[in-house]
Amino acid sequence: MLQLRHYHNADLADVCQLASDSLRERYDPSLFYQLVPYWPEGLIVVEDMGRIIGFVFGVMSGPQEARILMLAIDRIYRGRGLGTLLAREFFRECGKRGVRRVTLEVRVSNVGAMRFYQRLGFLNIRRASHYYSDGEDGLFMMRYL
């Protein structure tokens, strides 16, 4: 059975594992701890029978602006609408905080994620040269709520 809920520090190991399996950028686990106090409602996980199979981590990046830092679904669960479900839950939390726009960045090679975000209503804003640690360009995207 699927369940959406907020992230807790006890989820750290599972979320780190999922992040390193799914995302090319490497994150220090301390980042996850540091994020919690700022906006706990912006950190959401999806579980299947107690196992974390997806998560979205977002932060408030301005008085009315939120930023998605990471969003990932376990490989074997992709293409079933779970990414969309998590994103919509995140937008709902954004609505409660008075957020007017959501921003994010994707690697220009991550065409699947770009399509995913475009389908959710994100617009391409600009390309940032050498944005990632390995030198790849990033695409900045934005969606009004």
Ligand X SMILES: CC(C)(COP(=O)(O)OP(=O)(O)OC[C@H]1O[C@@H](n2cnc3c(N)ncnc32)[C@H](O)[C@@H]1OP(=O)(O)O)[C@@H](O)C(=O)NCCC(=O)NCCS
What span, in angstroms and rounded, lies between the C-alpha atoms of 80 and 110?
A: 19
Binding map of ligand X across residues 54-83, x = CB under 6 A, - = no contact: ----------------xxxx----xxxxxx
Binding map of ligand X across residues 98-117, x = CB under 6 A, - = no contact: --------x---x-xx-xx-
> Which residue number, 54 or 98, has a Cβ lying nearer to ligand X?
54
Phi and psi dihedrals of 75, rounded to 5?
-45, -45
What span, in angstroms and rounded, lies between the C-alpha atoms of 107 and 94?
A: 24
Q: How far is the CB of 141 from ligand X (least distance, A)?
A: 10
Burial class (CB in 10 A: 0-12, 13-18, 19+), 6: middle
Sites of contact with ligand X (CB under 6 A): 22-23, 70-73, 78-84, 106, 110, 112-113, 115-116, 119
